[in-house]
Amino acid sequence: MDTLLVITNCPDEESANAIALAAVEARLVACVNILPRVQSLYRWQGKVESAFEIPLFFKLTAATYAELETLIRQHHPYELPEIIALPVSQGLPGYLAWVVAETAV
């Protein structure tokens, strides 16, 4: 089973916690890391912006990616949230098996 690491950033802890909890409760992900606040610099609508954000790292399988993307888009306060999926090419076999088991519906 293909394992993914999905990244998004939220504007505050409240939205980060709500999205993370919804994803775990729906069994779309095995785990979410909610990282400490980071500063992001980016260009948006022709202007350079700066914001503090809360990064989320989701661990899941490719089978649940589409549903996770939908969940993030439905609950995220940003007009265009960052949603990036990275393939996990290697990892501790037991951990990867746990991700598969926890996201099996």
What 3-state class would DSSP assign to 93? Answer: helix
Q: Which domains does the chain have, with CATH numbers?
A: 3-103 (3.30.70.120)
pLDDT at residue number 104: 83
- Tell me the two tokens of residue 41: 């610099």
In sequence order, what DSSP letters do the residues of 57-76 get, joined into one string?
A: EEEEEGGGHHHHHHHHHHH-
- Span 61-105, pLDDT tens digits: 999 999 999 999 999 999 999 999 999 999 999 999 999 999 987
| pTM, entire model | 0.95
What 3-state class would DSSP assign to 39? Answer: strand
